[in-house]
Amino acid sequence: MATRTARTSYVWARGTSVSLFTVLYLGAGLVVAGIYDYFDNASTFERVVEAALAVILWPLVLLGIEMRID
């Protein structure tokens, strides 16, 4: 008897898939970065990089580490 397993990935392009964990992780990062005002004044390259780092490394932001590039 063959059983089927559920796949938890989304196919966006040919041969590329993104897991549900990745979508949820980046979604949480967007929320945390938004709460900590990393998207305010994102007009310079440094501010955009800070916002991207805050989205990717959001657990560190929750621990109080600031993503600031001087």
Q: Mind listing the pLDDT tens digit for each residue in 33-67?
A: 999 999 988 788 999 999 999 999 999 999 999 88
Query: Is 37 inside any structural domain?
Result: yes
The shares of helix, strand and coil residues in the chain, as percent rounded to the nearest 5, are 45, 15, 40
Q: What domain range includes position 53?
A: 24-70
Flag whether pLDDT at 12 surpasses 90.
no
Tell me whether residue 8 is in a domain. Answer: no
Average pLDDT in the 11-34 region? Answer: 83
Amino acid (one-letter) located at 7: R
Instruction: Note whether residue 38 is domain-resident.
Output: yes
Q: What is the pTM of this model?
A: 0.71
**11 within some domain:** no
User: What mean pLDDT comes out for the span 6-25?
Assistant: 72
Number of domains composing the chain: 1
